Structure 1
Amino acid sequence: MLKILFGVARLPFLTLTVLCIALAATGSWYQQGSLSIGLLLLVLLMALAAHISVNAFNEYFDFRSGLDFLTRRTPFSGGSGTLVAAPEQAQLALWLAIGSLLLVSAIGLALSALVDWRLLLLGLPGILLIYSYTDYINKSPLLCLLAPGVGFGALMTLGAYWVLAGQPDALALSLSVLLALLISNLLLLNQFPDIEADRQVGRRHLPIVLGPAKAAWVFSALLLACYLLLGVSVWQNWLPTAALLGVLTLPLAAHVAWSLHQQSRSHTRGPDQLTALLGKNVLLTHALPALVLLGLVLAKLQGAA
């Protein structure tokens, strides 16, 4: 049973949630000089439950639609395959999704009562996004592109910062938009291996609607926007200069974007090449925020010295 739960929860992917909350917590500490461990643990639990819920709903609905039987699984896309191997456990996946969503709702209400009722303006759309992502949002190219970034950046990271700092500010907006761009791009690239399978079950994301070559330009534009945002944020003093440590990932970003353009135009590209590219993009999506986080820590320590 635990193996099934861990599979549909997609535990290896939860590192992204931990990074989002860590960045929000570090930003709050940088601004406020202190951090409530109790609130941080509640926020982290809620964020992990939200990620588990959307993963479990995705596993359940993709199994029901037959998509999981069509995709070629990679370590980064195509689902976990848990329910394909154990179809009798589909109901367990659904209960995990619902239970996790109820936990998100309960913690969200508690935090809204403790901190600021306006947090519900983030929480209610978040709950709707968790449930509707797989069956509804994936049928709209624009919503499908924006939803992951909105969920992890605008809702999760901004909401966590709001809870921990008491109110949002320019630093919080900079961090949340940076993560939104990165994570929307992460999911965009992860759609490339599943184009044919997704088309068969009625999905309409950008690689299907535009084709791989044009979708690669969208990927590159969002990636460029990440570094422009980082530069503007430092220039406007929304982030400290040390946050420019994130620019150290620029060579990796350029390599990923260039390789994607090469592969999207090639008729002989192999699945192993694309899988390797997905892995490099996962590394980039973790490394850039982690370096910005390190920059915040160094700037705070330098200021305190």
Structure 2
Amino acid sequence: MSFFQRLAALAAIARAKFLTLTLVCLLVAACYSAQSVALELELLVQVVLIAFSAHISVNVFNEYFDHRSGLDGLTQRTEFSGGSGTLERHPELARSALWLALASLVVVIGVGLSLTLEFGSELIWLGLLGCVLIYFYTNYFNRFAWLCWAAPGLGFGICMVVGAIWVFQGFIDAGAWAIGSYVGLLVSNLLLLNQFPDIEADRQVGRRHLAIRYSFPFARGVWLFGYIIAADLLMTAVWFGWLPAVALSALLPLLLLVPISRRLWQLRQPVATPGQWGAVLGVQVTLIHLSLLVLALALVLS
């Protein structure tokens, strides 16, 4: 394998094409903070470095641990679930993948500690939570149904978005918590739906997420309820003046829930094929990206 082939394989293991989620999360945090302060380029660079390193680290740990557990050999992959399959095709890259995950985590810790020294020791608790989520999500949190559901939202919504706002504007207010919680609910739902095609494979390696611990219909109901709570949260934040009224425009992309829900209630796990699941998962990815982009634009216009 040439150097460039190896580099491309590691990019696939890091799931580089899915890092756009981090980008839109940071965009929302930056646009919210810009309402009250002028963003400093140095802080922006540090936050971007931490956020992307964290996302890469958790992705690569997920690929590495799923390869080690044998899960990669059991899943029927879609474009949006089941991992990249790169380590199944190139098991000799497992050690390199582990080093990439660890190196990315070291970047998160190193840059995070420098920000903690600047903004106060309280920030370290968000950083510590983030590091725990990165390392333990795949191997441990997936064995506890509700923790598995909440972990992605805590990572992206609270650690990333609220943490970024804290660094950008120097404090956290009610609007920051509202935006972080909204993002968190969307991301938890993103990962929840992505688990549906892999229920039987996950069960074989000891995972116990919602669809396994309870049932597929139960997990499907939690998924829909999560979006209802997210919409209510955004409307509540506007009602109390924590966010500008134009932020409600972020709810418009949630109309895509209609075709997703219709299709999701027609599917029967595990009868549905990877192609059928991939279509549903793709629309949800579009929904979440659009909602966060519209929210960022609304905050700029306000």
Alpha-carbon distance, 1:285 to partner:
1.2
Instruction: Give the Å deviation of 1:268.
Output: 5.6
Pairing 1:114–2:118 present: yes
| % identical aligned pairs | 49
Q: How does 1:55-74 map to 2 (within 5 A)?
A: 55-74=59-78
Partner of 1:219: 223
Counterpart of 2:260 in structure 1: which amino acid? V
Does residue 288 of structure 2 align to residue 285 of structure 1? Answer: yes
Distance 1:6 1:269 in 2: 29
DSSP 3-state at the match of 1:191: helix
Which amino acid counterpart does residue 176 of structure 1 have in structure 2?
Answer: G
**Deviation larger for 235-244 or 247-256:** 247-256
Cα offset, 1:254, TM superposition: 2.7
User: Does the 8 A contact of 1:158 with 1:168 survive in 2?
Assistant: yes
1:206-228 CA-partner distances (Å, limit 9, x unpaired): 11122221211000000111111
Contact 2:200 2:270 (C-alpha < 8 Å) held by counterparts: no
- Aligned amino acid, residue 7 of structure 1: A
The answer to which of 246-255 and 14-23 deviates more is 246-255
Which SS does the other structure have where 1:180 is aligned?
A: helix
Aligned length: 297
Q: CA RMSD in A?
A: 1.2
Alignment of 1:114-263 (within 5 A): 114-263=118-267
- Match for 1:19: what amino acid? V
Q: Aligned letter for 2:9?
A: I
Question: Could you state the TM-score of these two structures normalised by the residue count of structure 1?
Answer: 0.95
In the alignment, the residues of structure 2 paired with residue 181 and residue 244 of structure 1 have an alpha-carbon distance, to the nearest angstrom, of 16
Contact 1:216 1:257 in 2 (8 A): no
Deviation at 1:129, TM superposition (A): 1.1
How far the C-alpha of 1:67 sits from its partner, in A, is 0.3
Tell me if 1:294 matches 2:262. no
Structure 2 residue runs without a partner (length 5+): 1-5
Q: Which residue of 1 aligns with 2:275?
A: 272
d(CA) in 2 for partners of 1:144, 1:80:
20
Q: Structure 1 residues 41 and 159, CA, compared in 2 at 3 Å: closer, same or farther?
A: same
Could you tell me the TM-score, scaled by structure 2's length?
0.96
Letter in 2 for 1:295: A
CA displacement at 1:267 relative to structure 2: 8.0
- Whether 1:5 and 2:10 are equivalent positions in the alignment is yes
- Residue 303 of structure 1 is matched in structure 2 by none
User: In the TM superposition, what whole-angstrom CA distance separates every residue of 1:162-202 from its partner, at most 9, and x where no partner exists?
Assistant: 00010111111111000000000000000000001100100
CA–CA separation in structure 1 for the residues paired with 2:43 and 2:10: 26
Distance of 2:10 and 2:134 partners within structure 1: 18
Residue 92 (structure 2) pairs with residue 88 (structure 1): yes
Q: Which runs of 5+ in 1 are unaligned?
A: 300-305
Q: Is the 8 A contact 1:219 1:257 kept in 2?
A: no
Equivalent position SS for 1:273: helix
For 2:108, the equivalent position in structure 1 comes to 104
The residue number in structure 2 matching 1:37 is: 41
- Which residue is 2:20 aligned to? 15
CA distance in 2, matches of 1:235, 1:147: 28
